[in-house]
């Protein structure tokens, strides 16, 4: 499918298609009977009573009209070939009014179409139902949002450029808040500087968000206690609520949906000079980021090689964008 692209200041932003959008046509064999149109409901009743039920191909329409057929006959799907072999089917049909209906094997699309292009292409093989997914919105950014994205990407690029003059790996990450349109964390790669192989730029940024959250919660706790104790609290003894109970989370969520996120980076955007590695991508999934924008692709990246932003097996998905610089002046 054609990639969606949008210009954003110095960058060309391209949304990375999710797995379903890249799905090629895969087919599955079904047994069909050729019958008069008027007998359709009778044969479907027989199939539902006596033949294996269709499994996993609910998007496939049960009946195909042959436009060139002058006798007004239809092809009706009886069951999937993987469920029973032809001999078994013949045995089940023997002695019924459908014994003489011309049975053949037809191919149908195995997966439901996700994009309109897939739908148009796949329905030529066999009619399928199509419901455009809500998630498949057209790529669009407002002027303000474009300025925010450009600011965050430039900042990540500039940090990376500064870091490329040192011994450290030239990678930088910025975390932005799309609501307030400001930067909430930024870091370069610190693996060589600290000797800690886990201190990738994205991991350092997530740690910064965690520290800010601890501080914010401590201040909140302090102000609550001050209210309760009429202001005679010793600040050093503030209890840090690192682990919140479910009740606390629920009540905080109810208090203000903007103020408190249930997960560390919920709704935040990550801007990276390089595509995050598998470890960092998993950390971004766990911390529930909203969107990822990265500039340079990586041979071992979690997005372009493993599609970790949209894996069905993971319980959080985010939108990923590849951002290409228009000018090369800032690149290295
Ligand atoms: Zn990493």
Where along the chain do its domains lie? 27-110, 143-325
Euclidean distance between CA atoms 229 and 56, whole angstroms: 62
Beta bridge partners of 63: 76
Q: How far, in Å, from the CA of 280 to the mean position of ligand 1?
A: 4
Q: How far, in Å, from the CA of 203 to the mean position of ligand 1?
A: 7
**Poorest-pLDDT segment among 61-70, 152-161, 185-194:** 61-70
Q: What is the mean pLDDT of residues 195-203?
A: 95
Q: How far, in Å, from the CA of 325 to the mean position of ligand 1?
A: 22
Q: How far, in Å, from the CA of 274 to the mean position of ligand 1?
A: 9
Q: How far, in Å, from the CA of 277 to the mean position of ligand 1?
A: 4
pLDDT band at 132 (very low <50, low <70, confident <90, very high): confident
Task: Kindly write down the DSSP assignment for every residue of 90-148, as one continuous string.
Answer: HHHHTTSTTTTSEEEEEEEESS---SHHHHHHHTTTS-B-----TT-PPP---HHHHHH
Q: How far, in Å, from the CA of 174 to the mean position of ligand 1?
A: 14
Q: How far, in Å, from the CA of 300 to the mean position of ligand 1?
A: 10
Euclidean distance between CA atoms 28 and 6, whole angstroms: 37
End-to-end Cα distance, the chain: 31
Euclidean distance between CA atoms 1 and 17, whole angstroms: 9
Instruction: Report the length, in residues, of the chain.
Output: 332
Would you say residue 251 has pLDDT above 70? no
Euclidean distance between CA atoms 227 and 213, whole angstroms: 21
Task: Kindly write down the DSSP assignment for every residue of 214-266, as one continuous string.
Answer: HHHHHHHHHHHHHHHTTT---GGG-----S--HHHHHHHHHH-TTT--SSTTT
Quick: pLDDT tens for 4-46. 889 998 999 999 988 888 899 999 999 999 998 889 999 999 9
Q: How far, in Å, from the CA of 314 to the mean position of ligand 1?
A: 18
pLDDT at residue number 152: 97
Q: How far, in Å, from the CA of 202 to the mean position of ligand 1?
A: 6
DSSP state of 77: E
> Higher-confidence residue: 253 or 322?
322
Q: How far, in Å, from the CA of 173 to the mean position of ligand 1?
A: 10
Quick: pLDDT tens for 271-309. 999 999 999 999 999 999 999 999 999 988 999 889 999
Tokens representing residue 12 in the block: 């060309």
Q: How far, in Å, from the CA of 145 to the mean position of ligand 1?
A: 26
User: How far is the CA of 317 from the CAs of 5, 16, 149, 290, 312, in angstroms?
Assistant: 20, 13, 20, 8, 8
Name the one residue in this structure whose structure tokens are 């350092």. Answer: 204
Considering the domain delimited by 27-110, tell me its CATH architecture: 2-Layer Sandwich (3.30)
Q: How many CB atoms lie within 10 A of CB 35?
A: 19
Would you say residue 186 has pLDDT above 80? yes
Mean pLDDT of the chain: 86
Q: How far, in Å, from the CA of 47 to the mean position of ligand 1?
A: 54
Nearest by Cα to 178 from 28, 318, 323: 318
Q: How far, in Å, from the CA of 240 to the mean position of ligand 1?
A: 29
Q: How far, in Å, from the CA of 201 to the mean position of ligand 1?
A: 7
Q: How far, in Å, from the CA of 265 to the mean position of ligand 1?
A: 17
Nearest by Cα to 273 from 297, 291, 307: 297
SS3 content of the chain, % helix, strand, coil (to 5): 35, 25, 45
Q: How far, in Å, from the CA of 61 to the mean position of ligand 1?
A: 46
pLDDT at residue number 254: 52
pLDDT at residue number 273: 96
Q: How far, in Å, from the CA of 285 to the mean position of ligand 1?
A: 13
Q: How far, in Å, from the CA of 157 to the mean position of ligand 1?
A: 17
- Domain 143-325 indexed as CATH 3.40.50.300: no
pLDDT at residue number 331: 47
Nearest by Cα to 284 from 319, 312, 250, 260: 319
Q: How far, in Å, from the CA of 330 to the mean position of ligand 1?
A: 22
Handedness of CA 229, 235, 237, 241 (dihedral sign): positive
Q: How far, in Å, from the CA of 22 to the mean position of ligand 1?
A: 26
pLDDT band at 139 (very low <50, low <70, confident <90, very high): confident
Would you say residue 67 has pLDDT above 60? yes
Tokens representing residue 140 in the block: 């669009």
Q: How far, in Å, from the CA of 327 to the mean position of ligand 1?
A: 26
The pLDDT > 90 percentage for the chain reads: 63
**Poorest-pLDDT segment among 65-79, 89-103, 265-279, 303-317:** 65-79
């Amino acid at each position: 499918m054609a990639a969606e692209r949008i210009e954003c200041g110095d960058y060309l932003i391209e949304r990375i298609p999710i797995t379903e959008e890249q799905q090629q046509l895969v087919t599955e064999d079904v047994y069909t009977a050729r019958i008069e149109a008027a007998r359709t409901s009778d044969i479907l009743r027989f199939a539902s009573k006596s033949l294996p039920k269709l499994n996993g191909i609910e998007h496939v329409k049960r009946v195909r009209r042959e436009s060139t057929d002058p006798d007004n006959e239809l092809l009706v799907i009886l069951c999937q070939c993987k469920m029973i072999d032809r001999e078994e089917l013949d045995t089940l049909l023997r002695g019924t009014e459908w014994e003489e209906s011309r049975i053949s094997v037809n191919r149908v699309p195995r997966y439901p179409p996700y994009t309109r292009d897939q739908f148009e292409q796949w329905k030529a093989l066999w009619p399928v139902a199509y419901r455009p997914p809500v998630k498949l919105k057209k790529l669009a950014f407002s002027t303000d949002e474009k300025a925010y994205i450009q600011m965050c990407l430039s900042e990540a690029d500039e940090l990376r450029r500064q870091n490329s003059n040192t011994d450290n790996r030239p990678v930088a990450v910025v975390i932005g808040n799309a609501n307030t349109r400001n930067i909430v964390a930024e870091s370069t790669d610190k693996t060589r500087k600290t000797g800690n192989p886990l201190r990738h730029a994205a991991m350092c940024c997530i740690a910064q968000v965690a520290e800010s959250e601890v501080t914010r919660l401590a201040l909140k706790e302090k102000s609550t206690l001050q209210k309760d104790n009429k202001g005679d609290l010793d600040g050093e003894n503030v209890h840090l609520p690192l682990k919140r109970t479910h009740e606390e989370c629920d009540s905080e969520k109810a208090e203000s949906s903007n103020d408190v996120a249930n997960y560390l980076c919920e709704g935040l955007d990550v801007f990276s000079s390089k595509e995050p590695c598998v470890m960092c991508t998993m950390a971004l999934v766990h911390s529930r980021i909203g969107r990822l924008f990265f500039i340079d692709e990586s041979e071992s990246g979690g997005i372009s090689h493993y599609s970790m932003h949209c894996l069905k097996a993971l319980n959080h998905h985010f939108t990923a964008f590849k951002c290409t610089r228009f000018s090369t002046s800032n690149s290295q």
